[in-house]
């Protein structure tokens, strides 16, 4: 599949090199989150799209948004560039059964000094995070299915008492994809169908945030949707778990639009939902004392 030729033919700007472009990737603006800075990556070897901010996106749907055509039209267009319509459909990846057993990347170990330093620089206490969130780390060599997971904090995703997947955070701030998740064929449960958090600690009121670091800051009464793009399945899980939800997405305009959309979806399902704008660019940036105060007030 010659995606570069397609992008050139349709005058879609993309980058093949630069500080945010990894080897074997091209970067372009993400059409799902109004991205101004080429955060959508396309892996030239594995043929998949991943936005570091809002996550994985299906191949055909992504191209359709980029070139402004319908799904049916896009499949016809893609075939001219060597695309097999049986290769992947817009929803097939999330519904695909596991082909490989779940496992973590190679060379995963307890957090090393560089992982702890990264957390401390972000004003987290590693000794408090590790027992609650079971954090692990990788060193200079770590692979899973050919994907490079070096120099990352490995973040287990727990659901109903079991680890079903994982995501990871680059600690160098040099990788074009800050958050890199478990390959979909290895997930026990697709992470975009569930919520990140400690469900055993939830109560009738929950605080919905974007990512894992936001949850770490606010604590076990919060949960995350793995980016601002939420799914209907995640909304259903919210309805099952909570009677009242405060939505606290980042302060960026697109994130706030998504927060409004999520509030509307929850209210439609008879969940009391309220958008909460925190006094920082994102919840993870709050001082811990301020975060603790906010949670105490919202949980009343």
pLDDT digits (tens, 9 = 90+) for 157-179: 998 888 999 999 999 988 878 88
CA distance 97 to 89: 14
Q: What is the pLDDT of residue 38?
A: 82
Number of domains in the chain: 3
State the residue range of the domain holding 220.
Answer: 199-298
Q: What is the pLDDT of residue 223?
A: 98
Q: Which residue has the higher pLDDT, 114 or 253?
A: 114
* Same domain assignment for residues 88 and 14: yes
Residue 204 lies in a domain: yes
Residue 101 lies in a domain: no
Residue 257 pLDDT class (50, 70, 90 cuts): very high
Residue 102 lies in a domain: no
- Of the three residues 40, 73, 95, the one that is the final residue of a domain is 95
* Same domain assignment for residues 83 and 16: yes
* Same domain assignment for residues 129 and 213: no
User: Does 86 have pLDDT greater than 70?
Assistant: no
- Of the three residues 95, 124, 150, the one that is the final residue of a domain is 95
What is the overall mean pLDDT for the chain?
88
Indicate which CATH number applies to the domain containing 135. Answer: 3.90.980.10
- Of the three residues 70, 95, 120, the one that is the final residue of a domain is 95
pTM over 0.95: no
User: Does 93 have pLDDT greater than 60?
Assistant: no
User: Does 99 have pLDDT greater than 80?
Assistant: no
Q: What is the pLDDT of residue 166?
A: 96
Residue 43 lies in a domain: yes
């Amino acid at each position: 599949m010659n995606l570069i030729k397609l992008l050139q033919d349709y005058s879609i700007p993309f980058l093949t090199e630069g500080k945010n472009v990894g080897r074997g990737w091209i970067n372009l603006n993400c059409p799902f989150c109004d991205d101004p800075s080429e955060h959508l990556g396309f892996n030239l070897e594995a043929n998949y799209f991943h936005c570091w901010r809002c996550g994985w996106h299906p191949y055909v749907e992504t191209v359709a948004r980029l070139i402004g055509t319908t799904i049916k039209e896009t499949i016809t267009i893609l075939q001219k560039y060597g695309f097999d319509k049986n290769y992947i459909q817009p929803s097939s990846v999330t519904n695909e059964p596991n082909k490989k057993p779940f496992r973590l990347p190679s060379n995963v170990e307890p957090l090393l000094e560089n992982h702890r330093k990264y957390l401390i620089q972000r004003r987290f206490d590693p000794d408090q995070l590790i027992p609650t969130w079971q954090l692990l780390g990788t060193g200079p060599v770590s692979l899973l299915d050919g994907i490079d997971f070096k120099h990352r904090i490995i973040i287990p995703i727990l659901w109903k008492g079991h680890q079903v997947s994982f995501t990871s955070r680059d600690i160098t701030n040099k990788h074009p994809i800050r958050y890199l998740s478990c390959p979909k064929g290895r997930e026990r449960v697709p992470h975009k169908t569930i919520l990140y958090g400690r469900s055993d600690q939830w109560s009738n009121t929950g605080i919905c945030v974007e990512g894992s670091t936001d949850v770490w800051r606010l604590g076990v009464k919060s949960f995350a949707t793995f980016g601002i793009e939420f799914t209907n399945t995640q909304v259903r899980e919210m309805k099952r778990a909570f009677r009242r939800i405060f939505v606290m997405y980042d302060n960026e305009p697109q994130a706030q639009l998504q927060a409004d959309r999520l509030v509307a979806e929850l209210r439609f399902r008879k969940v009391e939902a309220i958008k909460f704008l925190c006094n920082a660019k994102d919840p993870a940036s709050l001082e811990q004392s301020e975060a603790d105060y906010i949670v105490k007030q919202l949980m009343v």
